[in-house]
């Protein structure tokens, strides 16, 4: 029997239970991620692993994207325009792939399950309209708060459509003394029109 063939009250109960189970799973994963980083922070610096590898999802809240204008008549960010934006960090696999600026997916960056905050500032290398189809669309610096300034990672590099590799420039708390790579993939656009990213950090102790 299909879900649509069930009475309305049963269908509603099943759908609500499914949403609750997915939310509980996301919160459990978020709690385990925070517990892991807290353990790293609490351990002696010399006992920390040589390499740390983990993945997270990022959803930009496009209502917080603020660009400058290169020319007064500009109607979109053009090459040379500066911007600042912000989003939220989720456990890996939380955000479904898909969505375009014209037809974004329904993921809400301000929904439940976030484990941190993401900040990004940078400069456009192409016009805003070309961002979704340009691999090196902007040059940016990013800050990942996992979940606050005492547990953070900073990165620098270019980004845009598809996948890119960026430099990890430093960190605080459990990430103090580590450098490495950020491997970032643009996986779609969310309900606000902002980008969704899947980010893997490959960190190693600096010499």
Predicted confidence band of residue 46 (pLDDT cuts 50, 70, 90): low
Instruction: Tell me the mean pLDDT in the region 136-164.
Output: 97
Residue-wise pLDDT for 54-68, tens only, equals: 999 999 999 999 999
Residue-wise pLDDT for 86-129, tens only, equals: 999 999 999 999 999 999 999 999 999 999 999 999 999 999 99
**Is it the case that residue 19 has pLDDT exceeding 70?**
no
* DSSP assignment string, 27-76: HHHHHHHHHHHHHHHHS-GGGS-SEEEEEEEEEE-GGG-EE--SSTT-SS
Alpha carbon 183 to chain centroid, angstroms: 12
Predicted confidence band of residue 40 (pLDDT cuts 50, 70, 90): low
Instruction: Tell me the mean pLDDT in the region 155-178.
Output: 97
Structural domains of the chain ordered from first start:
32-205 (2.40.480.10)
**Is it the case that residue 146 has pLDDT exceeding 60?**
yes
Q: What is the pLDDT of residue 47?
A: 77
């Amino acid at each position: 029997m299909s879900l649509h063939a069930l009475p309305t009250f049963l269908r509603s109960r099943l759908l609500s239970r499914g949403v609750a189970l997915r939310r509980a799973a996301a919160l459990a994963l978020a709690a385990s991620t925070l517990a892991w980083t807290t353990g790293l922070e609490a351990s002696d610096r010399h006992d920390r692993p040589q390499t740390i590898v983990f993945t997270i999802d990022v959803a930009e809240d496009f209502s917080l994207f603020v660009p400058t204008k290169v020319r007064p008549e500009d109607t979109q960010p053009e090459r040379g325009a500066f911007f600042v934006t912000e989003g939220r960090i989720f456990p890996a696999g939380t955000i479904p792939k898909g969505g375009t600026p014209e037809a974004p997916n329904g993921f809400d960056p301000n929904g439940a399950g976030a484990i941190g905050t993401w900040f990004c500032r940078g400069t456009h290398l192409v016009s805003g309209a070309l961002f979704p189809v340009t691999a090196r669309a902007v040059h940016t610096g990013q800050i990942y708060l996992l979940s606050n300034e005492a547990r953070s990672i900073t990165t620098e590099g270019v980004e845009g459509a598809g996948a890119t590799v960026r430099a990890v420039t430093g960190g605080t708390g459990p990430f103090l003394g580590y450098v490495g790579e950020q491997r970032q993939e643009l996986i779609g656009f969310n309900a606000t029109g902002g980008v969704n990213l899947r980010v893997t950090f490959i960190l190693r102790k600096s010499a």
